[in-house]
Amino acid sequence: MKWDDIDWQRRQIIVRGNPDTGTKNSETRRVPILPDMENLLTRMKEKLGTVGKEPILQVGNCNEALARACKEIGIPKLTHHDMRHLFATRCIEAGVDIPTVSRWLGHKDGGALAMKTYGHLRNEHSQAMAQKVKF
């Protein structure tokens, strides 16, 4: 992802569809910038000054940093795919519906795969929400 892949006005990240450097299915999609991500990107942009076509972070550097952090705190190595699962899980647990999370992840099946993978979370969330209902 490059700095010019951020649409600050619409508060979206453009995920480019390129089989070599972008998405697996070669399609471009737009994902909303979550508030915490907006804060991080804003701080990074302010620190760097001018930004344009350069990458925000090099993937290799991210992988190395993640591996180093895992080793330092004594947990098994995590991958970017683990972070993708964490993102989806946190979104669903926060109440984002599965079809929306599925679109953000780039799935084209209307949420069937996400429901299969994360469907167990929905019942737990449903039970927690049911506890809030009072008559």
68 shares a domain with 47? no
User: Predicted confidence band at 19 (pLDDT cuts at 50, 70, 90)?
Assistant: low
Task: Give residue 43's domain range.
Answer: 1-56
Cα(46)–Cα(125) distance, rounded to whole angstroms? Answer: 38
Q: Is the same domain home to 71 and 121? A: yes
> Does 66 score more than 60 pLDDT?
yes
Whether residue 134 is found in the same domain as residue 110: yes
Domain count, the chain: 2
- pLDDT, tens digit (0-9, with 9 covering 90-100), for 85-104: 989 988 988 889 889 999 99
Residues 127 and 73 in one domain: yes
Residue 12: in which H helix or E strand, if any?
strand 12-15
- Answer whether residue 56 shows pLDDT above 60: yes
Residues 24 and 35 in one domain: yes
Tokens 């039970």 sit on residue: 127
Contact between residue 101 and residue 116 where contact means Cβ atoms under 8 Å apart: no
The structure tokens 């984002």 sit at 96
Q: Is residue 22's pLDDT more than 60?
A: no
Mean pLDDT in residue range 111-118: 87
